[in-house]
Amino acid sequence: MRTSQRGRHAVAAGLAATALLATASCSGADTAATGGAPADAAKLKLTASTPAAKGHQDKANWLLEDEPDSLDLDTQGSSAGRVVLTNVCERLYQLQPDNTVKPFLAEKAHAPDDRTLVLTVRDGVTFHDGSKLTADDVLWSLKRHADPDMEQADEFGNVRSMKKSGAREITIRFKAPDALFTKALAGDAGIVWNEKQVTAAGKDFGTPGQGDACSGPYTLGSWKSGDSLTIEAYDKYWGAKPLTDRVTFRWASDSALVNALKTGAADGAYAESPNTASALRGTKGIDQYYGPSTASLVLIPTARGGLKDPQIRRALSLAIDRTGIARSGYGGLVQPWATPVGSGAWGYEKQRFAAAQDELDDVAPASPTADDLAEAKRLVKSAGAPADPVVIGTDSSQGRTVVANAARAALQRIGLKGQIKTVPTAQFEEFYSDPGARADIDVLVGDWYISKADPMGFYDNGLSDSSNNWVGFKDKTYDKLVHRALGTLDDKRRASLALDVQRRFSDAAVWIPLAQVPSALVIDDRMTGPPASQSYLYYPWAARLGLKKG
Amino acid sequence: MTSLVSRVSRRLLGLLATLFAASFVIFAAVYAAPGDPAVFLAGGRDKLTPERLATVRAQYHLDEPLVVQYGRWLWDCVHFDLGRSFKYSDQVSDLVAARFPTTLQLVAYATVLFVVLGVGAGILAAVKRSTWVDSLVVGGTTLAASVPSFVAAIALVSLFGVQLGWFPVTGSGEGVTGTLRHLTLPALSLALGALAIISRVTRQAMADAAASDHVEVARASGVPERDIIRRHVLRNALGPIVTMCGLVMAGMLAGTVVVETAFGISGIGSLLVGAINTHDFPVAQAVLLLMVTGYIVVTTLVDVVHPLLDPRVKEATS
């Protein structure tokens, strides 16, 4: 219940974007290029960061896929808003390009016991209106985030109390140990607002024409609704000065976005759709970087029809051609994957998670072998083939259509019938949330990402009482392990528990993972510096953007 | 003069009645569209418990009967309060006000283009009737009209924007020259479809006017051909031409969606598409109403102006 969040809409829209096929060949810094089109999904190289910039520049033009809804992430958190605001607002913890977190506006954090967290508020930080950042602002902000009407309220489910315990000290007490809480403080739940400014703006806070109420390296310059948004380097910033003085954001989707980058009207963008990056591959003057993200493509089965049986679900997972999907649906820019979260979720114990992911190949192979198919058929035989065709729910976007067809082909291969049901994108989104809307489908061609770099941020979706556990998977040991892991503060021990949980989730095929979707940075080849990983949503990436040459 | 006043006031009353009817139809249509705004309003996929959805519905009055919601909306509307956007927390009026000028500029530019080029081509075809020039105009404009605006947009962008780099490919630009440069390609793709209609109407209206008796008389009495075309033919043909120009322009106010999307212009059209996709009721309703209002106002204006241009219509109606 606590981790994936409303940025989903943006990813869904991105993946649904009008498809543009990869036609280009290799180019300079394109780390994924292998000389031909499409990219080879298996060799896609993911880097957390781009090479550091050396040169200062006055301005940069950046593209978003949509205009931000609002710059108050408590009331309306969308990806577009985050990409901008992460340069303007700072959080108590900070997500690093390599997806680890460290204390930030909380200069120090200290846990006297596993149910208490004491944060020391950083000294010498000023808000953009010049006023000093105080512990009172921190406490007020935390309470605002925790308000049940706000986006981040569910992050505070374990919190018993939050109090100011010293001039620069906040003490948070928990009902139960909460391993994800500090990670949430690196996300939107950790933003520190200037109480005075937010209160003064009232209902209009976050809309065009209002101040930003933050302390980051950039300050909100102007937001001309429907036209552009500009951020400017903040002169009195407490940390290192940004390399780029001013960043102007504009927004465009699909081909307009691709054209703007192609013609140099924009200097860069984080492409939410792999197809956008794909359309720009090999374009002269543009570098591309791919980084780890938590996003994935998945099949989400429902309790209706044949897929209710775990054996049939496992059989489908064994028979589906993940490599084919990556190649023909996404120009090779997604990677066949055996877990429902991308590698950006590995914020700790990376090697162990990577090794475990490789081992899961036995339940979710990249391309099914003869043995896999034989095993799948055996499973179907043992379960008894369902009489009705399996209804696959999708929208008409290129990627999803390819996935739906691949699922149907896989079903056919193991002697089952598949039937594709296509609905408009707006209606498609409701499949995720409304059991009534998905009453007619057996499996959804879905995508998902989580906001925290911790696989445990995902696996609570398999809990017996989770609203995202559509197949009615019930396993007491699983539930117990998930709760224990969520309450285990030690990374090493939590990783062990997470791996156990992950194996159980995979064996039961609660969801069927297909591919991980890396984040993609497309950028003018004179520039470099920002991270390529999904951290761009929570890390002040613009401050590191600059020229390659000094 | 009094007849004009009473006619205009009659028109105004009719305009209000039409608006009222249209507003209800729009409200009901947006309401009936598939999809639940509460799902969007409630936030992420994993927060959507039935209780949370119910709270959101109550908070935004979505659980009330349609007529009550309409009444509430209409009441606010006549008090100049269009509400707050579900998607953007901003006031709907601010959102619309920020985007409307762009769409208006785009339509105005396109109108200038299709009026000048379309009427020009029509006059040319009428004057050079049954020559190769005539055939060329008719053929050319028919070809232009058969290209859908989104195809024209893509073709224009890739040729003049991406390949040749003469025009910018996104945004609406700043200042007079910037705006002109940014809006040339979008306006051109909008105007292309209208060219054929306008040139054809102009050509036909002029042919009809040229065939009338007084033109024959004027010609017989030795008035120079130039003057005949200008004073007698064109003047008499102006009624249908202006009417058609007005109608086409009014239609454009509601039809910029495709072109705005192709060129990455944040106008009323793209605002509407976004609002519909996210079930942003207040915005969708306001934009649709604005489009309908624009259409009604322009067509009413044309109706009012028409008799002033053509005394015969005035006699017939009074």
Task: Give tens-digit pLDDT for B48-72.
Answer: 667 777 777 877 778 888 888 888 8
Chain A hits for B44, CB-CB cut-off 8 Å, are 4-8, 151
- Which of A433, A451, A467, A468 to substitute to test the interface with B, most B CBs within 10 Å? A433
In order of their start, the domains of chain A are 51-85+216-286+526-550 (3.40.190.10), 89-206 (3.90.76.10), 296-516 (3.10.105.10)
pLDDT at residue A36 in the model: 41
Confidence label for B315 from pLDDT (cuts 50, 70 and 90): low
Q: How far is B162 from chain A (nearest CA, A)?
A: 6
Q: Is residue A7 within 8 Å of A77, Cβ to Cβ?
A: yes
**Which of helix, strand or coil describes residue B108?**
helix
Task: Decide if pLDDT at A146 tops 60.
Answer: yes
Chain B positions in Cβ-Cβ contact with residue A75 (cut-off 8 Å): 89
Tell me if B266 and A8 make a contact (CB, 8 A cut-off).
no
Tens digit of each residue's pLDDT (9 = 90 or more) over A426-478 = 778 888 878 888 889 999 999 999 989 999 999 999 999 888 899 999 999 99
Taking a C-beta distance cutoff of 8 angstroms, is the pair B82, B88 a contact? no
Burial code (b: 16+ CB inside 10 Å, e: under 16) for B230-258 equals eebbbebbbbbbbbbbbbbbbbbbbbbbb
Is residue A11 pLDDT above 50, yes or no?
Answer: no
- The predicted model gives B126-150 an average pLDDT of 84
pLDDT at A13: 35
pTM over 0.90: no
Q: Is the pLDDT of residue A242 over 80?
A: yes
d(CA A325, CA B181): 42
Chain B residue numbers touching A252 (CB-CB < 8 A): 170-171, 264
Task: State yes or no: pLDDT of A188 exceeds 70.
Answer: yes
Chain centre to alpha carbon of residue A310: 28
Residue in chain B lying closest to A283 (CA):
B162
Please write the tens of the pLDDT for every residue from A20-52: 222 222 233 333 333 345 677 667 789 999 999
Comparing alpha-carbon positions, the chain A residue that sits nearest to B259 is A256
Kindly compute the dihedral angle of the four CA atoms of residues B170, B174, B180, B181, in this order, to the nearest 10 degrees: -50
Chosen from A259, A422, A458, A460 to mutate, greatest number of chain B CBs within 10 A: A259
Give the C-alpha distances (Å, rounded to integers) separating A405 from A275, A320, A518: 18, 10, 23
| Helical pair B132-146 and B120-127, crossing angle rounded to 10 deg | 150
- Is residue A252 pLDDT above 80, yes or no? yes
ipTM over cut 0.85: no
Domains plus CATH for chain B? 1-79 (no CATH), 92-314 (1.10.3720.10)
- pLDDT at A107 exceeding the cut of 80: yes
At B11-38, the pLDDT tens digits run: 888 888 888 888 888 888 877 776 677 7
The dihedral through the CA atoms of B146, B150, B154, B159 has a sign that is positive
The DSSP output letter for B20 is H
Contact B48 A208 (CB under 8 A): no
Chain B closest-CA separation from residue A449 CA (Å):
11
Do residues A100 and A348 make contact, with C-beta atoms less than 8 angstroms apart? yes
| Average pLDDT estimate for B269-290 | 86
Q: Which candidate in B56, B89, B92, B99 is best for mutational testing of the A interface (most A CBs within 10 A)?
A: B89
Distance from CA of A413 to the nearest CA of B (A): 33
- A168-174 mean pLDDT: 96
